[in-house]
Amino acid sequence: MNIQLRKWILSDKESLKALCNAVDRQYLSDRLPSPYTDSDAEWWLNMVTEAEGKTGLFRAVTVDGQVVGSISVERREDVYRIDGELGYMLLTDHWSQGIMTQAVAQITRLAFELLDIQRISAHVFAPNIASAKVLEKNGYELEATIRKGAIKDGKVYTVMRYGMVR
């Protein structure tokens, strides 16, 4: 199994749409539109093309050349601009195969090399134990537990904040 991260390109529109419409959204941000349309994909691909390397790193997660996920580190703003926020998603058929563990290792190295940041943060809904394990395997440390820190589909969640310092 060949796991690689590659920059998103405008011709990835169909792959991106398929990913975003098939991914399990239970623990993802509500900022991901549903259904995910052509115009959503076009907007996002244009945005990441412009922002790449400036305010973040945005990568397609591929296995044997097929897009199976997405991962990014986006630099926060204002006084928090030395912190990058890590986010990722992976198709359920590819869970529990070590794919995201490798992807997080790769994006973490790249982010510290290419972005002007001192730390990377990640937020995980408490029931999402698999995601917490991915971060822990990569050396991220649990920094805070934020009780009643998020709401998704009408359910209030405790959020765990993980971090890694350069």
The count of structural domains within the chain is: 1
Domain boundaries, position 110: 3-117
Asked if pLDDT for residue 110 goes beyond 90, the answer is yes
In a domain, 33, yes or no: yes
In a domain, 137, yes or no: no
In a domain, 107, yes or no: yes
CB 29 within 8 A of CB 125: no
Asked if pLDDT for residue 1 goes beyond 90, the answer is no
Query: With bands split at pLDDT 50, 70 and 90, how would you rate the model's confidence at 13?
Result: very high
Q: Which of 107, 91, 21 is nearest to 122 (CA)?
A: 107
The tens digit of pLDDT for each residue in 19-32 reads 999 999 999 999 99
What is residue 163's predicted lDDT score, i.e. its pLDDT? 98
Average pLDDT, the chain: 96
Asked if pLDDT for residue 6 goes beyond 90, the answer is yes
In a domain, 122, yes or no: no
Query: With bands split at pLDDT 50, 70 and 90, how would you rate the model's confidence at 85?
Result: very high
Query: With bands split at pLDDT 50, 70 and 90, how would you rate the model's confidence at 130?
Result: very high
In a domain, 36, yes or no: yes
Ranges assigned E (strand) in the chain: 3-7, 56-63, 66-75, 83-90, 119-125, 141-152, 155-165
Distance (Å, whole) CA 12 – CA 49? 12
In a domain, 7, yes or no: yes
Pairing assessment for the beta strands 56-63 and 155-165 based on DSSP bridges: unpaired
Over range 23-51, report the average pLDDT: 94
Over range 135-156, report the average pLDDT: 97
In a domain, 23, yes or no: yes
In a domain, 148, yes or no: no
Asked if pLDDT for residue 149 goes beyond 90, the answer is yes
Report the CATH number that the domain containing residue 102 is assigned in CATH.
3.40.630.30
